[in-house]
A = this chain, B = another copy of it.
Amino acid sequence: MTDTQDKTNDMPGHLARRFQQIAVAVFLAEVEQAGFDLTPVQYAALAAIHANPGIDQITLAGLIAYDRTTITGVIDRLVQKGLVLRQASSRDRRARELQITEAGQQTFRAITPAVEAAQQIMLRGLTETEARELVRLLQKAIAAGNELSRAPLRDGTGEPG
């Protein structure tokens, strides 16, 4: 039954999917154990809003490489949880300014140790050196492929981040 000819498990694309799958599972498990209910995507958005108060949704999407149609739902859920405030911008009435709430700040601070623990756990099979090398290689591959997805990383100026 074992398929020795199948090359799926050697393909970078398949490995990418599998590693992400494990990363999400580890993240959710650690965060739940710490008593919180937040997805990896929601955490990254919360962190970016924390670091950039008043940011609009498109700029936020660029900072964390989310699709513009995905970010709407993510912010919806953060607002519903009371962690983020969304209000119309006075400078540009098309845009929504995002602020982190007091509860959002508390959650962000309290949850961060669990998030960092998750990063260790998802690399537990690697030595320290290997873990650093994996991060370096992923960053290099991602930088070269940045423009290939619909949701590339952008800094605040429209240039690649």
Interface residues of A (CB under 8 A from B): 1-3, 5-27, 29, 40-41, 44, 47-48, 51-52, 55, 59, 63-65, 115, 118-119, 121-126, 130-131, 133-135, 137-146, 148-151, 153, 155-157, 161
Contacts and interface: CB of A to CB of B under 8 A. Distances in A.
A12 B155 contact: no
B161 A141 contact: no
Nearest to A65: B18
A118 B10 CA distance: 13
21 contacts: A1-B155, A2-B156, A5-B51, A9-B139, A12-B135, A13-B23, A13-B26, A13-B27, A14-B40, A14-B64, A17-B20, A17-B23, A17-B41, A19-B19, A19-B138, A21-B151, A22-B145, A25-B150, A123-B141, A125-B143, A133-B133
Contacts of A44: 8, 14
B142 A3 contact: no
A149 B118 contact: no
A134 B143 contact: no
Given A119-B12, A156-B2, A142 B48 contact: no
B142 A51 contact: no
Given A10-B135, A14-B44, A19-B145, 6 more contacts: A8-B47, A9-B139, A13-B118, A13-B119, A17-B40, A133-B133
